[in-house]
A and B are shown apart, each in its own frame.
Chain A
Amino acid sequence: MAIAAAKGRLIAVIGDEDTCVGFLLGGIGEMNKNRQPNFMVVDKNTSISEVEECFKRFLKRDDIDIILINQNVAEMIRHVIDNHNEPIPAVLEIPSKDHPYDASKDSILRRAKGMFSAEDTK
């Protein structure tokens, strides 16, 4: 994708009810007749494929530059997130009320893990 300046891009949220309500309260929510909303509430009944489909839809949209996702939800679709290598939209894993942030699970931070091995110190 061409690197071009863009204004008024959205922040999307995929997370549990409190996370979504919180960010919507904060003002990131958008919904209009033509598009789907830029948020998705994930609860215990939500299937992995629903989350995956939503994530992929957000990736395809050209008006979303950041996707915030609860880390425990990200775990459900880890393989999809690991395969996302474009800078835009940026995917940021965040903690939820019940699941603290774990840096070792973060898809992006894990890229550094393979970088340094014992070989390098020779």
Chain B
Amino acid sequence: MEHTDKSAQLTQVCETLDELTLKQVDLVDEQLVLMSKLSSLLTGGFIDMAKSRYINGEKTVSTTQIPGEDSIIEAVITVDRDNMNKLAVSRNKEVNDPIKWFGVLVPTSLKQSQQAFQKVVEIAVEIVNIRREWLKSLDTLEEFKTLSSLKISK
């Protein structure tokens, strides 16, 4: 009787370990897929920046356009954090659009570049949230492994 009890326990432990491991692998996969998406968007953003420079000139899209040390800039995009440390993007429409720093008549490519970077921010926040979940599940997996190895050795 004791023998079947033990083996039933062992099976359950192995099943739970499998579930936790699969969940963990899924979460890593999600992160990698999102990072790949982020990379493509970034590349697009950089290409559009280059296009703008080609149209308007090298210096028109560079740090020289950024307001200097004495100016005041307010962030358009910020994040809100809830009690579980989950982040959400928040936009402040009242603030000056940074595209204005780059001239009065900006090429479409610059607007497209801006949109790309905004999307990149949204994906970055998604990745951060999945990571937090993943790290928690890693901890759970680790705890469970320790617990289960104690059970198996008995």
A88 to chain B: which residues have CB within 8 Å?
81, 85
B39, B61, B110, B124: the one within 8 Å of A101 (CB): B39
- By secondary structure, the B interface counts as helix
The size of the chain A interface, using a CB distance under 8 A, is 48
Q: Does A56 reach chain B (CB closer than 8 Å)?
A: no
Known: A23-B117, A90-B131, A94-B42. A66 touches B87 (CB 8 A): yes
- Once the chains bind, are B75 and A95 in contact (CB under 8 Å)? no
- By secondary structure, the A interface counts as mixed
- Once the chains bind, are B128 and A18 in contact (CB under 8 Å)? no
Bound complex: CA A32 to CA B74 (Å): 8
- Once the chains bind, are B98 and A29 in contact (CB under 8 Å)? yes
Bound complex: CA A22 to CA B66 (Å): 11
Q: Which of B94-147 contact A (CB under 8 A)?
A: 95, 97-99, 102, 110, 113-114, 116-118, 120-121, 124-125, 127-128, 131-132, 135, 138, 141-142, 145
A–B pairs, 25, beta carbons within 8 Å: A3-B85, A5-B81, A5-B83, A6-B81, A7-B78, A7-B90, A10-B75, A11-B75, A17-B63, A18-B46, A20-B63, A21-B49, A21-B62, A21-B63, A21-B66, A23-B121, A25-B113, A28-B121, A29-B75, A30-B75, A31-B71, A88-B85, A90-B132, A100-B39, A112-B28
Least CB distance from A116 to B in Å reads: 8
Least CB distance from B145 to A in Å reads: 8
A32 to chain B: which residues have CB within 8 Å?
72-74
B81 to chain A: which residues have CB within 8 Å?
5-7, 9, 65, 88
Known: A5-B81, A21-B62, A21-B63. A28 touches B35 (CB 8 A): no
* Interface size class of chain B, counting residues whose CB lies under 8 Å from the partner chain: 35 or more
Bound complex: CA A31 to CA B75 (Å): 8
Q: Which of A62-77 contact B (CB under 8 A)?
A: 65-66, 68
Q: Does A115 reach chain B (CB closer than 8 Å)?
A: yes
Using A22-B113, A22-B116, A66-B87 as known contacts, list a sample of 14 further A-B pairs with CB atoms less than 8 Å apart, ordered by residue number in A.
Answer: A5-B82, A22-B49, A26-B121, A32-B74, A33-B70, A37-B69, A38-B75, A65-B79, A65-B81, A66-B124, A87-B132, A90-B87, A100-B39, A103-B35
Residue of A nearest to B25 (CB): A112
Known: A3-B83, A7-B90, A21-B66. A33 touches B72 (CB 8 A): yes
